[in-house]
Structure 1
Amino acid sequence: MKIIKNISYKLSKKQLDQCKALDAIDQISFINQAIFEDSGINHQERLSFQYELLKISESNKSSFNSAYILNLISQTNAQMGDLELALDNLLSAEKKWREILSRNKKDIPSLSINGLILCLSDIGNIYMKMGLFDDAMKYFESGQEFIDDTDDLFVPYFKIHFHLSEIYDKLDFYKKSKQMIQKCIQRVKSFKFNPPGRIYIYLVPANIRLSEIFKKEKKVHKSIETLNKTIKMCEKFDDVIYKQQILMMLGELHIENLNYKKAIKVLSEAESMHIKIGGDSNLIKIRLSISEILIKEEKFLESLEILKQIKKIAENNNLNVQLIPIYKMLSLIHENLNQQDKSFKYNKKHSNVISEYYINKNKALINENRKIIKDLSRAIKEKHEIQSTKDIESSKKYKIKSQTAKTLYRIREGNILESLKNDISVLKENIENHNHKHINSILNKISFYLRDQSSWKDFEDMFIQIHEDFIDNLNSISDQLSPKQVRFCMFIKMGMDKYDICSLQNVTIRAVEQQRYRIKKIISPNEDLDKIIQEL
């Protein structure tokens, strides 16, 4: 009973009776699972109990339990939206799992293999959510090396294929995505669960995933039908998160079908689960959708009360992006209620928060300037080396590299300005007509600046002077690369990482990862892309 007395989490009478017969190590394992599956506590409480149990496990020198607790802590971190902390805990867990396996090379326990595969799968999942698809695929493939379709590895088999379905979906390989989730469902239906009700722990998320695929296939009715069938399954086990997720998805689908009555019903039910689950971000999303429907039905006063509530939550938590639609809808409601002063007040707030959002976005340019300072510092150091050795050829290369750095900076700047121009054009639509003259003046200045920028051709010409045979050597491997993909390979050759390329082209990390993935499939499906390009 030592472990039970040292933790603040309270087990049920039935659980206490089960725990009495266990030794200290098995008690930790039992309590860990009980905390994770307890639907009566919110995520913050769960996290507090998990960290408390982790300390007890560490003091008992139970490496297996500590690794497994970290696995489950990371899932709670992810549910709360803290992906960085989730990843940090998973990488610590991976280290522990590998240490356990290295100590038992001759007789590796199946539970330890399960733990490692689940950990690798979850790491891949976090990288996927961050948009780092190459890293995600690396971990999923690493986990696949251990799995088979035996009953001992059922859970890892399910999780790996489930996450592969998600990543193929994000990469627009919908057919493969559907194949992966159908494999999950088939495996779940063929597995003998004990007790039998545990089947729903796996069928529910698999069906949610299938419903998302149906929605992308424009099979809205099939998606709704699948979700309605799945939500009944949530009653058959201690569901912590899935029911609210299903209700929010149903709300979106009913809005898409213009069935506002049904949408309000399911969204209201999702809202009622907030006290039990927590998470202000989800609450704001739910109430914003309800408010939007009420405005369309001209129930302005009801919508106004909801918006006031979520405005307070968003302002208290500095959720500025979510304040943008809130202020806009408040302005619209007061306009319809003929309260022009209040409408103007929220229209001004809406304009200010949008402006602040784009000012923050413009900080990307400041970060680029910092990078340029570093580039110039390296260039100065290189110049001093050239002067000391009086190497004419190196001096020539230095000048080309210096020009290339400046050209890349102008391209970065141009891309960011082009993006800001588009954003300001969108902002213009949300601002009153008497401000359009000032907005047009800003747009004209940006357009004038962009007309005078260096083209990509300048960069390519200078690159070829440094790496003369690179493009020919690249084309000898494959002539299927598009001009944009060839240019992407040039960035890699210059030693740019995904963040450099993302910043240079002013695109998302996800877009960069997708391009890397496509290029890798063409020229090096089974080899390291960076290594091949650097050797050309």
Structure 2
Amino acid sequence: MESIVILLVLTGYFFAIGKISGQDISVSDSLKNDLQKSTNTESKIKTLLRLSTEMESFDNNKALLYAQQANSLSQETSNDSLVSACLNRIGACYIAMDEFPSALKYTEEAKTLAEDKKIIREVAIALGNLAIIYEALGDYKRRSEYDFESLKLFEQLNDKYNIGIRLGNIGIDFFYLGEYEKALEYLFKSLKIAQEINDQPGIASQYNSIAGVYLEIYKDYDKALLYYKDALAISKKSDNKKLEGTVLLNIGDLFYMNQQNDSAIQYYYNALDILNELNSPHNLAWCLIKIGQYYSNAGKSEQSLKNSLAALKIGQENNLLEVVLNSSAILHNVYLQNNDFENAYKYSLVENRAQDSIYSQQNQKDLLKLEFQYNLEKLEKQRQIQQQRRNFFIGFIFFGLITGIVIVVLINSRQRIKVKNALLENQSISSELNFKNKELSINLMALIKKNEMLADISNNLIELEKEAKTSETKLAIDKISKKIRHNSDDKLLKEFSTRFQEVHEGFYESLLKKYPDLTQNELKLCAFLKLNMSSKDISELTGQSIFALENARYRLRKKLGITNSSVNLVTFLSQV
């Protein structure tokens, strides 16, 4: 029967918004007392959210009002988790009121904020709400996708309770998609988790849903009845009146479908007793319609009229057009069977008006769905465009980053090559300088030895001059000796100066720039001292006496401004 499917869907709906069963009014009263006593803003917000959830079973408008109050308070805090929770709650309230455009608006806001702040729980809840919105559009495939995404996030959080709820929702998704084996598989998975965490309402709800599949799809009355009775036992034990009434109605339908009318009417009346205690006009009206239909088929007009009129009254008071249509149809038929054509006509008009209203309402819903679908597609396109822009921006940044890294690496590599080349060049220059220094030292020693040899030759010539007998011979020897001395000194010093400047380029220029009064002989002395030559070595090279060299050194110190200083002359010149 249609009602079985409706009740099965209803169970899934309660799962989707996180509300499995009705709550006693005293719970709401207790929460209201907590709200009045609370002085902490965040505590007030949490209480308002709970109140909104509780009131959803009784009054959607009040549920929305509490959610909106919570949202207003959340703007005064910096708690993003509470803000997204409030937005999700408002979205759930609009879902319960079938106002899907508003539901989508708040749910998307909640999802965006939660994703941005990485609040996984609220993202998962938002995905669950989106699943219901797509169900309203008849897009069960998309709904199942959102339910699976929500499930994955709750699995990350290891939230068994919500994992069980999402598994149950996915089971209902597969039911709508016609994959009944899959539907049962996920409903049983949900049942297993509910049993693991001892969630009694969850166990009862899944038993009820599983029974509905076996009854509606497989026509397995025995198995369906077994699960219904399990659900009934748990709902009674946990004092869950709303679920108890639902299960009793479903068992009545099972017996009615199986043509066990006496059992069916007994369960309908049991359900009626429960539903009369609850503020659930929709379920109460449908229960009265079932009883009215039963008595109509049984030819008991009075009981049929009584129950059908009661259902009609509830339907008219609560604007339940389907209830008005079905109850007026029963009244029309009963009066017609009793030849009361006036009342038959009266209720046929009510029936037709209800049918027209439903048709008109359905057209409006279809238009709203089309508009909603358009807005949804528009939103999806905007999201895709934003994502493309974001991807382009990220790609641009990534490309720029990679390019920058490559440039930095190339510059760094080039710089390293430059440094390496500079080091190699310095090493080469240093090696060349060391070589020239060594060469200069060798040449210097050779010059000294050469000078010593020439000095010996000159001395030998002097001895020969003394032994010479003629004045012409003596004069000739003396000329040769002097010429050897003079030429050797000039050549030696000239060669030394050339070699020195090759090794210590710019030394003379630097000295003259700082001390322009230096003479050529003083510059030569500086060069000798730069090479760390002793006075003895300089004497042998230049032919000057050591005493004369010491005086020359003293005069040099005066010109360099280090007469009264403890600075070593050789050290001073090595730094020039």
> TM-score scaled by structure 2?
0.51
Alignment: residue pair count: 344
Residue of structure 2 equivalent to 1:158: 164
Partner of 1:343: 344
1:11 corresponds in structure 2 to 30
Match of 1:182 among 181, 188, 206: 188
Please report how far the alpha carbon of residue 296 of structure 1 lies from its aligned counterpart in structure 2 after TM superposition.
1.8
Amino acid at match of 2:202: Y
Partner residue in 2 for 1:245: 246
* Equivalent residues in 2 for 1:12-91, closer than 5 Å: 24-26=41-43, 28-29=45-46, 32-33=49-50, 36-37=53-54, 43-79=60-96, 81-91=98-108
Letter in 2 for 1:11: S
Q: Does the alignment pair 1:122 with 2:99?
A: no
Distance, in Å, in 2 between the alignment partners of 1:363 and 1:117 is 31
d(CA) in 1 for partners of 2:335, 2:361: 29
Structure 2 counterpart of 1:310: 311
- Corresponding letter in the other structure for 1:304: L
Aligned-residue offset at 1:180: 1.2
Contact 2:53–2:63 at 8 Å: present in 1 too? Answer: yes
1:279-358 mapped onto 2 (5 Å cutoff):
279-316=280-317, 319-347=320-348, 349-350=350-351, 354=355
CA distance in 1, matches of 2:232, 2:79: 38
Distance 1:284 1:328 in 2: 14
Mapping of residues 67-466 of structure 1, within 5 Å: 67-79=84-96, 81-101=98-118, 112-148=119-155, 152-191=158-197, 199-215=199-215, 216-237=217-238, 239=240, 241-274=242-275, 277-316=278-317, 319-347=320-348, 349-350=350-351, 354=355
- Is the contact made by 1:114 and 1:156 (CA closer than 8 Å) also made in structure 2? no
Query: Structure 1 residues 26, 119: CA separation in 2 closer, same or farther (over 3 Å shift)?
Result: same
Partner of 2:566: none
Q: Deviations over 1:373-431 (max 9, x none)?
A: xxxxxxxxxxxxxxxxxxxxxxxxxxxxxxxxxxxxxxxxxxxxxxxxxxxxxxxxxxx
With over 3 angstroms needed to count, the CA separation of the structure-2 counterparts of 1:313 and 1:129, relative to structure 1, is same
Distance 1:298 1:278, change over 3 A: same
Structure 1 residues 241 and 355: alpha-carbon distance in aligned structure 2, compared to 1, 3 A threshold: closer
One-letter code of the match for 1:290?
I
C-alpha separation in 1, matches of 2:252 and 2:242: 16
Deviation, structure 1 residue 157: 2.2
Structure 1 residue 121, shift from structure 2 partner: 2.2
SS at match of 1:11: helix
Distance in structure 2 (CA, Å) of the matches to 1:97 and 1:238 = 36
1:82 Cα deviation from its structure 2 partner:
4.8
The answer on whether the counterparts of 1:58 and 1:66 sit within 8 Å (CA) in structure 2 is: yes
1:314-359 deviations in Å (ceiling 9; x for gaps): 3455544543333332222123333233334434554565567668
Larger Rg: 2
**Take 1:361 and 1:41, find their aligned partners in 2: how far apart are those partners?**
25
- What SS class does the counterpart of residue 225 from structure 1 fall into? helix
The one-letter code of the counterpart of 1:28 is I
Contact persistence 2:265–2:294 (CA under 8 A): yes
CA distance in 2, matches of 1:335, 1:352: 18
- Give unpaired runs (5+ residues) of structure 1: 1-7, 102-111, 372-496, 500-536
- Percent of pairs identical after alignment? 15
TM superposition shift of 1:362: 8.4
Greater relative contact order: 1 or 2 (C-alpha under 8 angstroms, separation 6 or more)? 1
Taking the aligned partners of 1:73 and 1:238, their CA distance within structure 2 comes to 29
1:38·1:238 contact (CA, 8 Å) conserved in 2? no
In structure 2, the residue corresponding to 1:312 is in which secondary structure? Answer: helix
Cα offset for 1:168? 0.9
Kindly state the Cα deviation for residue 10 of structure 1 after the two structures are TM-superposed. Answer: 4.2
Rate the CA distance shift 1:9–1:289 in 2: closer, same or farther, 3 A: closer
